[in-house]
Amino acid sequence: MSTYNPPTLQKLALDGLLRKDAINSSDLDYLPTVLFPPLFLEAFNGRHTEILKAMVAAWPFPCLSVGALMKSPDVEVLQAVLDGIDILQTQNASPSRKLQVLDLRDVHQDFWDVWAGRKDEVCSAKTGNEKQVAKHIPRYALRQCLKVVTDLSLGFCLQQHQTCLLQWAQQRKDSLRLCCLKMKICHFPVEIIREILNIFQPNYMEELEIYAKQVLSFLGK
């Protein structure tokens, strides 16, 4: 005799939102905080890009760890997340904004198992270098500038998702704190290396590996 397990009310609510294909900010105003992570997961895995944009802009926690979900690069999903940051930036003056860090690294694997009660623990971990730099940044700057954190390993040619991120970051480097903690660049022209390094704030870079024929003359400059 088979056992029928009916879907939970939460599952039915999430399925109903996902069927809309797009969510207005007004839809998220009344969404319980505890439903944001499971809805984001469903939208991310189902590649509901319009829903992802809205959810990034309305994310109710200080940190959004997207890199842990990107087991394989997906340019369309990445672009949706970045578009959500752009929407959030246009709402910069809103006192209700919670998101402070978009983490594109493959870290915080347990983030999506942690709900609101432990959210501060997930986002509170800072490297010693970040803490030292934070002392020299005005408090108003820390509040106003959203931080985007990533690691980059660039070899021979840029992959499509890397090009997407770098072009987006280059255009917004004056309005965001762009941090590449670990960067590895192999066999790129010196001009391209210099252009990439100019995107990210050097004070936040912890590990840098450059493999290039002209690297010594480049570092001298």
Q: Quick one: pLDDT at residue 31?
A: 83
Domain assignment present for residue 164? The answer is yes
Q: Quick one: pLDDT at residue 133?
A: 39
> Which secondary structure element, helix H or strand E, spans residue 38, and what is its range?
helix 36-45
Q: Quick one: pLDDT at residue 59?
A: 92
For residues 19 and 76, state if they share a domain.
yes
For residues 136 and 95, state if they share a domain.
no
For residues 206 and 157, state if they share a domain.
yes
For residues 188 and 91, which has the higher predicted lDDT (pLDDT)?
188
Token pair of 88, please? 């959030």
Q: Quick one: pLDDT at residue 149?
A: 94
- Least Cα distance to 101 among 76, 75, 127 occurs for 127
Domain tally for the chain?
2
Give the Cα separation of 36 and 9 in Å (integer): 15
For residues 145 and 57, state if they share a domain.
no
Q: Quick one: pLDDT at residue 4?
A: 52
15-45: b (≥16 Cβ within 10 Å) or e: eebeeeeebeeeebeebeeeebbebbebbbe
- Least Cα distance to 28 among 64, 61, 63, 54 occurs for 54
% of the chain exceeding 90 in pLDDT = 28
For residues 150 and 198, state if they share a domain.
yes
- Positions of E strands within 56-97: 63-65
Domain assignment present for residue 107? The answer is no
Domain assignment present for residue 112? The answer is no
For residues 170 and 96, state if they share a domain.
no
Q: What is the mean pLDDT of residues 191-211?
A: 87
Helix axes of 160-171 and 75-90: crossing angle, nearest 10 degrees? 10
Q: Quick one: pLDDT at residue 128?
A: 44
For residues 206 and 155, state if they share a domain.
yes
Neighbour count for residue 218 (Cβ, 10 Å):
15
pTM: predicted TM-score of the whole model, two decimal places: 0.77
> Which of 101, 118, 152 represents a domain boundary (last residue)?
101
153-170 pLDDT tens trace: 988 788 999 999 999 999
For residues 49 and 97, state if they share a domain.
yes
Domain assignment present for residue 117? The answer is no
78-136 pLDDT tens trace: 999 999 999 998 875 455 568 999 999 987 667 666 543 344 444 444 444 444 434 43
For residues 87 and 151, state if they share a domain.
no
Q: Quick one: pLDDT at residue 131?
A: 45
Domain extent at residue 42: 8-63+71-101
For residues 77 and 155, state if they share a domain.
no
Domain assignment present for residue 189? The answer is yes
